[in-house]
Amino acid sequence: MLISIPEVLSKGEVQQIREHLDKADWQAGSQTAGSIARHVKQNQQLDDNQEPAISLGNHIVRALSQHPIFISAALPDKIYPPKFNRYSENETYGAHVDAALMQIPNTQQSMRTDLSATLFLAEPDEYDGGELTIETQYGPQTVKLAAGDMVLYPSTSLHQVAPVKRGARVASFFWIQSLIRDSQQREMLFDLDQSIQKLTSELGQTHSEVVNLSGVYHNLLRQWATPA
């Protein structure tokens, strides 16, 4: 399931974040790549253990915790601290799959990567190229969203970032371990929750059908959830 989530950050928040990022000390992204990925990874990243990456990442996590579509789609158990990258002209990231397990920085905790997320921090007209292409069961899907919008997709997906031809593509990226490990179950819960929200707005939260469907949702969640 590939989901575009609008307005994770407001335009004002994006502008403030960009003011920090545009002055930041960027490093070669290949320094953080694995043995296979470093051969196809040509971009720039911030040091995760230094400012402004830490405070900006915390801001994004707080915004996500208040975004109903993200909560509904991801049902997050753990979120890897957001990282930041930039692709300037001719930079790219070839086809790859994200690591299945990651250690959360500065902790003894590991997490399973169920979902990958890219939060766009540059407007589409700021750069040419730089599209994120994700392989799905329906074929490749190309994503290039407005600044402040985010795409959420299975971490099992083969994906790549096309070469940037003009300007700079700036984004935050991170991973989520979901309470619902099975992607099909997670998708069904999301669809059911969205239907409940629509019915609630039309019929009211005390309507018998809304109450019944909410019960079904929570009983399925109770049955399928596998917290660490």
* Angle 122-116-145 from CA coordinates, rounded to 5°: 25
CB 176, CB 129: distance < 8 Å:
no
Tell me the backbone φ, ψ of residue 180, rounded to 5 degrees: -110, 105
The β-bridge partners of 135 are 140
Go through 141-150 and write b for each residue having 16 or more CB atoms within 10 A of its CB, e for each that does not.
bebbbebbbb
In the chain the first and final C-alpha atoms are separated, in Å, by: 23
| CA gap 32, 57 in Å, rounded | 17
Encode burial over 121-138: b for 16+ CB neighbours within 10 A, e otherwise. Answer: bbbeeebebbbbbbbeee
Residue 169 annotated as binding site? yes
Cross-strand partners of 140: 135
Judge whether 128 is annotated as a binding position.
no
Q: Is 18 annotated as a binding residue?
A: no
Q: Is 39 annotated as a binding residue?
A: no
| Interatomic CA distance for residues 187 and 167, integer angstroms | 36
- CB contact at 8 A, 99 and 113: yes
Tokens of 17: 């974040």
Q: Residue 72 in contact with residue 140, Cβ under 8 Å?
A: no
Residues within the annotated binding site?
96, 98, 159, 169
Residues within the annotated binding site for Fe cation?
96, 98, 159
Residues within the annotated binding site for 2-oxoglutarate?
169
